Amino acid sequence: MNLKIYHNPRCRKSREAMQYLEKTKQGFDIINYLDNHLSKREIEQLLKELGYQPEDLIRKSEAIWKEQYKGKDLSVDELVTALSENPKLIERPIISNGKSAVIARPLEKLIDFLK
């Protein structure tokens, strides 16, 4: 089964992870989640694979988070909706094998995941 990399080409860590996958000859598909927003169902599946709660996947330094969501008491469903509607909030890069996933930063987490 091919891996999937949820990739942001402008992110250095995401580019590093993709280069590592290429260098180690891993088969993978690129999911450019900024251009093709993930559905709530897709985000829920990633959360399950990661073993995360929605707030664990959120980039809390993003302006969108600070301006629209920070300090609010949001439900799991509301957080998943926020991630779906604002993909910049999603931590990256995420590598998935369909059963489990890892946020590959630092790169060592990806190396361990592939073992």
Q: How far apart are alpha carbons 28 and 25 in whole angstroms?
A: 9
37 is catalytic: no
SS3 per residue for 18-35: HHHHHHCCCCEEEECCCC
Please say if the pLDDT value at position 80 is more than 70.
yes
Give me the CATH number covering residue 33: 3.40.30.10
pTM, full prediction: 0.92
Which residue in 79, 84, 91 sits closest to 39, CA to CA?
A: 84
Number of structural domains, the chain?
A: 1
pLDDT, one tens digit per residue, over 89-115 is 999 999 999 999 999 999 999 999 999
38 is in which domain, residue-wise? 3-114
pLDDT mean over 15-39: 95
Catalytic residue among 11, 50, 107, 114: 11
Residue 2: the pLDDT is: 86
C-beta atoms surrounding 93 within 10 Å = 26
Tokens coding 37: 């927003």
106 upstream amide cis, omega within 30 of 0: yes
Please say if the pLDDT value at position 1 is more than 80.
no
pLDDT, one tens digit per residue, over 28-78 is 999 999 999 999 999 999 999 999 999 999 999 999 999 999 999 999 999
Q: What residues pair up with 6 in beta bridges, in sequence order? A: 31, 94
